[in-house]
Structure 1
Amino acid sequence: MTDSTQRVGLPCPACSPDLETVHDVLNDGGQATVRCTECDHVHKTTLPEPKTVQRDVVVSQDGESFTGTAEPPADETLAVGEEFVLETEEAIMTVRITSLELAQGRVEEAPVEDVQTIWTRAVGNVSVNATIHPKSGARDETRSETLHVPGDYEFVVGETDELGDFTYTIEGIHLRDDARGYDYEKLDHDRDSAPAKDVNRLYLRDEESDAWSAW
């Protein structure tokens, strides 16, 4: 759910005491400070409570799913890739929108009032699939593992890193469909990077000669 400069309709004591004009909110703490966009008059006032709507949220985490509810502002637009904090019976977690369900089907962006269900996945802590090549390069020793890391853990192509006893070099990063802000679906140039929550699969070279032991 994105933030933007807040604007509200309020009477202006200088130019329009009886009718609302558009005001910029300069400071919304306590008695809010606002500026009329018609005459630039700055004054303090109480902001009206924003109207919210309750929407069902489905959360996917490590192959399982559960439901909760969110109350976004009624005039907001939601889009795939946006993140918000969701409070459920299980936990308080950060989730990312993966799909928006409307009466006529699923879409990637829609006004809140048209949305029936918000489909999400947990991104605070994530599981990342990895294809691991041995240091020797022997193809028959390639294996797959799952790494469990914080969602903001940064993976950088060309860097050597450690998780527990596992030392590896990142050779490539395949991104998730809901990752935003990238030019390509796969990152494979030195210094290309992505946080774990954006990663669908890692391609790693094992820098240890011994078999990998999970932490």
Structure 2
Amino acid sequence: MERNEECFCPACGEVTEHEVIAMGRNPLARCLECGSVHPFEGAREKKVFRVKAIVSVEGISRVCNVEMEEGEICRIGDRFVAECGDEYIGVEVTAIERGESRPHKAISNDITTLWTRKVEEVAVRISLHLGRTTTSLQIVVPGEEPFVVGETYKAGQRRIRVSRIKVRQGTMLRREGAKAKAREIRRIFAYPL
């Protein structure tokens, strides 16, 4: 089974996509940019799972799902992208159900249901690469706002250049000029300017 992972390539001098060729005590990866093989530290990826979300849209409620990472803290007012069949909707959390209780915040693993409402803005996650360091950012933008590979944007106080876009259907957009709407994006990979 082929597995790809983002890690630092000593030959390229930057974070690139790698094919994992050996796991275990001494994992090895092959850089998909330059082809060099080197040891790497496997990313300790958090498990991603779906949480049931009730989405209210103009008085009508739908049962949908929200993807959350294991151990992620969710608060009332947080924004997510809910998957409702083939449609993706930007939502804001209005209530959290944890068993019989309705706390103001909870750890994702304990959440039974999220009660949400449709909003026009969504939270977009960004992985900002600088050498061996990767920083996670999040920005809130209109769901219809397009992001384009190769373009520059402002994320908080930083200016970034988008190198890749991971969309919810699982595709990785790499070609310069490729674009996706904010509500369709799972994660943006970028470099600081």
TM-score (ref. length: structure 1): 0.37
Q: Higher strand fraction: Structure 1 or Structure 2?
A: 2
TM-score (ref. length: structure 2): 0.41
* Structure number, greater radius of gyration: 1
